[in-house]
């Protein structure tokens, strides 16, 4: 009896011939790039190093496009953004020891934001593995241990025959919900040694679906159908699962107001009658959600930023759909459903009963009116005007990448992303330096539309070297640097807490002249000219820098009293 899968596994004559006669001059690095190509990768990011030269030499024998950044952490941010935009596991090629370790902060952000990154690093020669102290260059007692608490999975290769399967297993892990970074390390001698193994041509690494248990979705559907005041909190899992349409259909069927978390920006239409927008750092919104008799949380762990700094205390039932098992009920008791957002929402759509509730849009409008009044009372005209200028200048379908800076904190609450997967920030792990290199990765993923990066001057200094990358690859990124002479948000925090700030003031360069020294267009703007200057920069191909000297303030926190 012949099974269908037997036919699928039977090699063709051409495959047999190619396997028996592999091309000369290949090494272990070729097995890496051949496997990546076989998995569907088209672009890789990274930085060469002595132990990794076997991989980088193999790149010139492949069709993979290489984007080389100047700092490993920035290469990690670029790969993170490429993964967010494309949904692919972005390969990140690194060298041993210092090169590998420099990527840790970027991989932490990718893990926190569930961005698929396939990090492949070299290792010291095989003879040095095992924790002995042999004195190899870049040697660590256990390099993989430095990554095990940061990435989803770790894979150590010791022979060339292990390379295709290890990379395929890592790829599958990166793309199985919740997405995330994975780590593969390959010793220098394995990468450099000649290989007679056949060319890697077909690699199967299909990610697994995370499906909800039907008895749980049946209970959830019953709770939501019978609720009198349901509400929905939509997190980044909705965006990553491409489940925004499902979310809208369910909200409309239930007449349930929806608020999006910073990671879920754009998951629900900003101006929809049921849209609570993103004002989670607002006590009025917190009160509204606490008053709901059933709260559906989709694709969020209700962490610090998504719970108004853990002041949210729901009085009704909570239903939580979450692909990350560790986040289920981690902050609030709930009916926890382990599933990715698309499958979880689809199951609810098939089982909930439609609700009629004409009061929901009225309650939403009343809430947003209260939020506007609160902000208007704080004399924040400059901040609101700057954010509105950015929104008007940025094309509706362009993605934006925001560093940890005051304008980004405003954007989490007040910026209309105009669609899912359009606004990204480093709010997952909260490290500086994300915005510009991430935007470069997004521009490499889709060169047909301009990309905006937003940084403060403190965060910008983390990424200046990547102006060379932007110029070298002519990436279509406009970088808005809000220059307030220091770490602005820390200045505010310290002044509020201690009466004065320490270690927050910075000597900084002339950013326009610095950009021009890299051959990148630069312009100094003002709040009044920002919209036109930014729109012009975004409308011209290639990289550019727009510098806005301005001291912005945050709106008053509502979780402290």
Reading the block at residue 349, the tokens are 């759509």
Residue 2's pLDDT is: 47
Reading the block at residue 154, the tokens are 């770790």
| Cα angle 102-106-107, degrees, rounded to a multiple of 5 | 100
Q: Which helix (H) or strand (E) holds 234?
A: strand 230-234
- Residue 382: partners with Cβ closer than 8 Å, 6 or more residues away: 527, 550, 552, 553
Query: pLDDT (tens digit, 0 to 9) for every residue of the chain, 561 residues total?
Result: 445 555 456 777 766 666 677 888 899 999 999 999 999 999 999 999 999 999 999 999 999 999 999 999 999 999 999 999 999 999 999 999 999 999 999 999 999 999 999 999 999 999 888 888 888 999 999 999 999 999 999 999 999 999 999 999 999 999 999 999 999 999 999 999 999 999 998 888 999 999 999 999 999 999 999 999 999 999 999 999 999 999 999 999 999 999 999 999 999 999 999 999 999 999 999 999 999 999 999 999 999 999 999 999 999 999 999 999 999 999 999 999 999 999 999 999 999 999 999 999 999 999 999 999 999 999 999 999 999 999 999 999 999 999 999 999 999 999 999 999 999 999 889 999 999 999 999 999 999 999 999 999 999 999 999 999 999 999 999 999 999 999 998 999 999 999 999 999 999 999 999 999 999 999 999 999 999 999 999 999 999 999 999 999 999 999 986
Burial 383-416 (b: 16+ CB within 10 A, else e): beebbebbbebbeeebbbbbbbbbbbbbbbbbbb
Burial class (CB in 10 A: 0-12, 13-18, 19+), 551: middle
Rounded CA-CA distance 449/422 in Å is 12
Residue 4's pLDDT is: 52
Query: Quick check: helix, strand or coil at residue 535?
Result: helix
- Residue 542: partners with Cβ closer than 8 Å, 6 or more residues away: 474, 475, 476, 520, 521
- In residues, how long is the chain? 561
Dump the DSSP string for 544-557. Answer: EEEEEE----PPPP
Query: Quick check: helix, strand or coil at residue 142?
Result: coil
Q: Assign residue 62 a region (left: φ > 0; alpha: ψ between -120 and 50; beta: otherwise).
A: beta
Cβ atoms within 10 Å, residue 284: 18
Q: What is the Cα gyration radius of the chain?
A: 25
pTM for the whole thing? 0.95
- Residue 497: partners with Cβ closer than 8 Å, 6 or more residues away: none
Nearest to 335 by CA among 347, 322, 323, 345: 322
Reading the block at residue 385, the tokens are 């005007």
Residue 558 carries which DSSP code? S
Residue 134's pLDDT is: 87
Query: Quick check: helix, strand or coil at residue 174?
Result: helix
Nearest to 294 by CA among 317, 312, 315: 317
End-to-end CA distance of the chain: 73
Nearest to 272 by CA among 260, 285, 262, 263: 260
Reading the block at residue 153, the tokens are 């999975």
Reading the block at residue 307, the tokens are 């719970």
């Amino acid at each position: 009896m012949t099974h269908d899968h037997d036919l699928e596994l039977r090699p063709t004559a051409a495959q047999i011939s190619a396997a028996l006669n592999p091309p000369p001059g290949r090494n272990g690095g070729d097995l890496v790039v051949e496997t990546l190509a076989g998995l569907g990768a088209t672009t890789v990011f990274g930085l060469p190093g002595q132990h990794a030269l076997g991989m980088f030499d193999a790149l010139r024998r492949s069709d993979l496009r290489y984007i080389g950044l100047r700092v490993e952490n920035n290469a990690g941010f670029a790969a993170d953004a490429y993964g967010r935009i494309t949904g692919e596991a972005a390969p990140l090629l690194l060298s041993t020891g210092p090169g590998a370790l420099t990527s840790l902060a970027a991989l932490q952000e990718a893990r926190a934001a569930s961005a698929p990154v396939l990090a492949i690093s070299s290792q010291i020669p095989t003879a040095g593995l095992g924790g002995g102290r042999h004195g190899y260059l870049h040697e660590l007692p256990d390099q993989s241990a430095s990554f095990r608490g940061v990435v989803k999975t770790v894979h150590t290769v010791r022979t060339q025959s292990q390379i295709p399967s290890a990379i395929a297993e890592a790829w599958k892990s990166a793309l199985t919900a919740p997405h995330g970074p994975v780590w593969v390390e390959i010793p220098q001698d394995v990468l450099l040694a000649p290989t007679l193994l056949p060319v890697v041509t077909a690699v199967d690494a299909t990610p697994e679906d995370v499906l909800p248990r039907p008895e749980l979705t049946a209970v959830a559907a019953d709770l939501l159908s019978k609720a009198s005041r349901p509400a929905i909190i939509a997190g980044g899992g909705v965006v990553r699962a491409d489940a925004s349409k499902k979310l809208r259909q369910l909200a409309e069927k239930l007449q349930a107001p929806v608020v999006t978390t910073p990671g879920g920006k754009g998951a629900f239409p900003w101006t929809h009658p049921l849209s609570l927008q993103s004002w989670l750092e607002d006590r009025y919104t917190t009160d509204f959600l606490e008053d709901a008799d059933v709260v559906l949380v989709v694709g969020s762990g209700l962490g610090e930023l998504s719970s108004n700094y853990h002041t949210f205390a729901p009085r009704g039932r909570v239903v939580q759909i979450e692909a990350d098992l560790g986040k289920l009920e981690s902050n609030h008791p709930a009916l926890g459903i382990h599933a990715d957002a698309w499958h979880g929402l689809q199951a609810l759509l098939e089982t909930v009963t439609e609700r009629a509730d004409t009061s929901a849009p009225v309650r939403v409008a009343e809430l947003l009116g209260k939020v506007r009044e609160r902000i208007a009372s704080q004399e924040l005209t400059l901040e609101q005007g700057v954010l509105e200028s950015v929104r008007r200048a940025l094309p509706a379908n362009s993605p934006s990448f925001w560093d940890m800076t005051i304008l980004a904190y405003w954007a989490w609450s007040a910026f209309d992303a105009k669609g899912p997967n359009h606004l990204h920030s480093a709010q997952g792990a909260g490290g500086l330096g994300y915005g510009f290199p991430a935007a470069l990765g997004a521009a490499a993923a889709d060169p047909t539309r301009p990309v905006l990066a937003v940084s403060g001057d403190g965060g910008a200094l983390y990424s200046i070297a990547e102006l060379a990358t932007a110029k070298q690859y002519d990436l279509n990124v406009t970088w808005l640097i809000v220059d307030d002479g220091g770490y602005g948000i820390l200045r505010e925090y310290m002044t509020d807490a201690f009466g004065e700030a320490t270690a927050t003031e910075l000597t900084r360069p002339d950013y326009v002249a610095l950009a021009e020294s890299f051959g990148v267009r630069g312009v100094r703007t003002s709040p009044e000219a920002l919209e036109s200057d930014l729109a012009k920069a975004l409308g011209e191909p290639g990289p550019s820098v727009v510098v806005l000297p301005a001291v912005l303030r945050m709106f008053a926190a509502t979780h402290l009293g």
